Amino acid sequence: MGGLDRTAAVVLVGGQGSRLRPLTASTPKPMLPTAGVPFIGHLLSRIAAAGIRRVVLGTSYRAEVFSSYLGDGSSFGLQLDCVPEPEPLGTGGGIRHAADALEDDYDEIMVFNGDILSGVDLGAVVDEHRAASADATLHLVRVPDPTAFGCVPTDDSGRVERFLEKTLNPPTDQVNAGCYVFRREVVNAIPTGRAVSVERETFPGLLDRGARLQGHVESSYWLDLGTPAAFVRGCADLVQGIAPTSALPGPVGTALLLEGAKIAGSASLSDGTTLGREVVVGDGSRVIGSVVMDGARIGDNVTVTRSVIGPGAVIGDETVVNDAVVGDGVSVGAGCELREGVRLWPGITIPDGGLRFSGSA
């Protein structure tokens, strides 16, 4: 049903990524290294592969980091602009602000939350939008816990009945997957100059006024990388080829090693672990389904499971790290135990045996 040459993309990357602190203290969430490249690289590679050429990134938090990495987008085969907001405009305000930077040639705008790893067929979402003559079409997925998302019930024809953002009693497990197609006029009607939530204001307002919102339900791979557990899983899925991407800087396998990473002969890597540049893993250590960022050093007989070890961090011998986040440059001594939800803020030093507990911190 026609191509995507009159469809432009807006990618929202202005959020603070607060659930991923301390990793997002210095790096915005879409720029965190995931399977060796900033997350936004995986998303942009999928947008380009679908045939979209024109992209505007709506930035707010740490806006400068995006433009210095992405430039004009030509390395992705895209024509890309980063448009910083004067103040955070929310998701709806961010869409409007970014879309104002687009030329008149585009009559459809495809919007992406910048933290979603997904295998959805973008062309199929646009096809459904056109077939339904919709004002907006939303990619929807089914999840075990819909309370953390926008709940979106639809009727038999796929028409959206309601939009309930993070509701305690969701009437269905079908949720907003954070990817939309809008008719351009619908975006042009979003107010300017103030913060607007697309989820709490734009979608409910459109429904109240009788607009046609269509749901495109799909069951391909989908993950919001907003929490440490999801971030680690998304990285591991990319490395193992479970999550789709064409931006992986190496072959699909049980582990991805970037330039200069070294592991002792008796160490093992598994379950989609990534070792960043110049990482060192010592004798007898096991790194399972984890992300070890550039320059980190892991001692001997260490076990790291489903965790993130920040850039330049040091983990002492015999230490166990499970489901934890170790911030940039943290030094953890020998014989420590970091478990379930522990997060260590950048720069902290833990002496040998200085931390042994389970539970949140």
Task: Provide the binding-site residues for Mg ion, judged by CB under 5 A.
Answer: 115, 224, 226
Nearer to ligand GDD, 30 or 272 (CB): 30
Which position among 45, 60, 202, 307 is part of the footprint of ligand GDD (CB under 6 A)? 60
How many Å apart are CA 266 and CA 334, to the nearest integer?
A: 19
CB 114 to ligand GDD: min, Å: 4
Which position among 4, 8, 9, 15 is part of the footprint of ligand GDD (CB under 6 A)? 15
CA torsion sign for 201, 10, 15, 42 is positive
CB 180 to ligand GDD: min, Å: 9
Give the per-residue contact string, 297-316, with ligand GDD (x = CB under 6 A; - = no). Answer: --------------------
Alpha carbon 263 to chain centroid, angstroms: 28
CB 64 to Mg ion: min, Å: 22
CB of 321 closer than 8 Å to CB of 307? yes
How many Å apart are CA 146 and CA 124, to the nearest integer?
A: 24
Nearer to ligand GDD, 89 or 332 (CB): 89
Q: Which residues pair with 222 in a beta bridge?
A: 118
Query: Vertex 99, ends 220 and 64: CA angle to 5°?
Result: 85
CB 107 to Mg ion: min, Å: 28
Nearer to ligand GDD, 139 or 286 (CB): 139
How many Å apart are CA 83 and CA 195, to the nearest integer?
A: 16
Number of residues that bind ligand GDD (CB under 6 A): 25
CB of 7 closer than 8 Å to CB of 52? yes
Determine the interface stretch with ligand GDD among 6-14, 74-82, 185-193, 317-325 (rule: CB under 6 A).
6-14
Structure tokens at 95: 């869409």
Binders of ligand GDD among 92-131, rule CB under 6 A?
94, 113-116
Binders of ligand GDD among 155-194, rule CB under 6 A?
165, 175-176, 178
Helices and strands, number each (H, E), in the chain: 7, 31
Structure tokens at 193: 């100059």
Q: Which residue in 174, 47, 67 sits closest to 122, CA to CA? A: 47
Which of ligand GDD, Mg ion, none does 273 bind, CB closer than 5 to 8 A by kind? none
Which of Mg ion, ligand GDD, none does 24 bind, CB closer than 5 to 8 A by kind? none
- Which residues, 6+ apart, have CB-to-CB distance to 61 below 8 Å? 14, 15, 16, 17, 28, 88
CB 88 to ligand GDD: min, Å: 3
Q: Which residues bind ligand GDD (CB under 6 A)?
A: 12-15, 58, 60, 85, 88-91, 94, 113-116, 149-150, 165, 175-176, 178, 199, 224, 226
